[in-house]
Amino acid sequence: MISYALDRPEVEFDAAFQRAFYANKRVLITGAAGSVGSALALQLARFGCAHLAMLDQFDHGLINVVEAVRKAAPKLQVTEALCDIRDSGRLDGWMRRIESDVVIHSAALKHVHLGERHPVECVLTNLVGVRNAVAAAANAGAGHFMLVSSDKAAAPVCVMGATKRLAELHLVGFQMERNPSMRLRSVRFGNVLGSQGSVLPRFAAQIEAGGPIEVTHPDMQRFFMTANEAVGLILSVAAIDDPQARGAGAYFMEMGDKVSIMSIGREMIRRSGKDIAIEITGLRAGEKLEEQLYDAQETVSPTPLPGVFRVTPAAVDAYVTSADVAHLETLVRTMENAVVRQRLFAHLDQRLSRSDRAAG
């Protein structure tokens, strides 16, 4: 495949610190068959954690990641869990059976345009699924819960971003409701180079087919990071002692300047040595020209990790309770997609006390 490299030095996290933290931990990863989940699983296998559980509903992908982990670490105790995070009873049963110290919740619907067309599915997976996972983790006595979020949770205008932001706020609400001993955190990041469904493999496939490559807008820009950075960020944030953190904060890594999607396409065409056209297809529903890592409804603070920052809600009532999630769950199961999208954003705008959201 035609490669593309970041135009900045790759951020390196302290592997020795991570290894020391996870070496004696039992860890469960939801969404383990995905790009980020599988990379997390392989890194944790190399660290020699005490037990690694991989949970996903995608059977073929789950088999692949479990086999890869067993090959990389033959002596590691491994559990495969074929489970849908929407099924709270089954998920709770798995969590209690596995008794993990650390739960990394990576399972999600991550594609913006699919979320716009299927907001019901997006809410059920990205919000209800998080409600189920964090409750199950607390019930099972986990000490750490890490939610893998997205930069699209900042100033969200798409359904996927809105559900991710509400999920972050639910960690805040859950902590207020239950006051669990479990440490709750979430981490936002940009596009991971080469991940499933991302722009690089799509451009590579279009170039291989003779073109054209499709760009939605000539001014489209995104944050990018490597898979190693994504894994390092998640594992480090889950492990650090952050004494200034109050409640369930979200974290992000400084990723340098946003990158032009058009420039990526041109560079990949140049590297291919082929004469490939670029076609501008127009912005899709829910897309922004530029992403951001935090917004006006949040405060930003430094953390013990260099180049990593914590964001916390500026409004005291910016939280989502279990009752809020239950209400939205009932709504999405009984109403049409267009109404669901409207109600979803109305709820989020109220929680964030914002009235100037872009149409999206």
Exposure string for 225-254, b = 16+ CB within 10 A, e = fewer: bbbbbbbbbbbbbbbbebeebeebbbbbbe
Q: How confident is the model at residue 2, as a pLDDT?
A: 60
| Residue 358: pLDDT band with limits 50, 70, 90 | very low
Q: What is the mean pLDDT of residues 290-311?
A: 94
What's the pLDDT at 357? Answer: 52
Sequence-separated (6 or more) residues with CB below 8 Å from residue 27: 44, 49, 51, 52, 53, 100, 101, 102, 103, 104
Nearest residue to 295 (alpha-carbon basis) of 229, 332, 342, 349? 349
Q: How far is it, in rounded angstroms, from Cα 198 to Cα 193?
A: 7
Strand 308-313 to 224-225 pairing = unpaired
Taking alpha carbons only, the member of 45, 100, 102 closest to residue 74 is 45
Q: CB within 8 A of 205, min separation 6: which ones?
A: none
pLDDT at 4: 65
Instruction: Return the higher-pLDDT residue of 180 and 53.
Output: 53
| Range in 81-90, 241-250, 296-305, 339-348 the model is least confident about | 241-250
Average pLDDT over residues 20-43: 96
Lowest model confidence (mean pLDDT) among 52-56, 111-115, 164-168 = 111-115
d(CA 36, CA 163): 19
Average pLDDT over residues 156-174: 97
The mean predicted confidence, pLDDT, of the chain is: 93
| pTM of this structure | 0.94
Q: What angle do CA 91, 92, 94 make, to 5 degrees?
A: 65
Question: Which residue type does 304 have?
Answer: P
On whether the CB atoms of residues 96 and 139 are closer than 8 A, the answer is yes
Whether residue 359 is predicted with pLDDT greater than 50 in this model: the reply is no
Contact criterion met (CB below 8 Å) for 290 and 258: yes
What is residue 360's predicted lDDT score, i.e. its pLDDT?
42
Quote the CA–CA distance of 53 and 66 in Å, as a whole number: 9
Pair 1, 201: CB distance under 8 Å: yes
**Has residue 197 got a pLDDT over 80?**
no
Q: Give whichever of 8-22, 74-88, 201-215, 313-327 has the largest mean pLDDT.
A: 74-88
pLDDT over 50 at 263, yes or no: yes
Active-site residue numbers? Answer: 152
Of the chain, the percentage scoring pLDDT greater than 70 comes to 97
Q: What's the confidence (pLDDT) of residue 196?
A: 73
State mean pLDDT over 260-278.
93
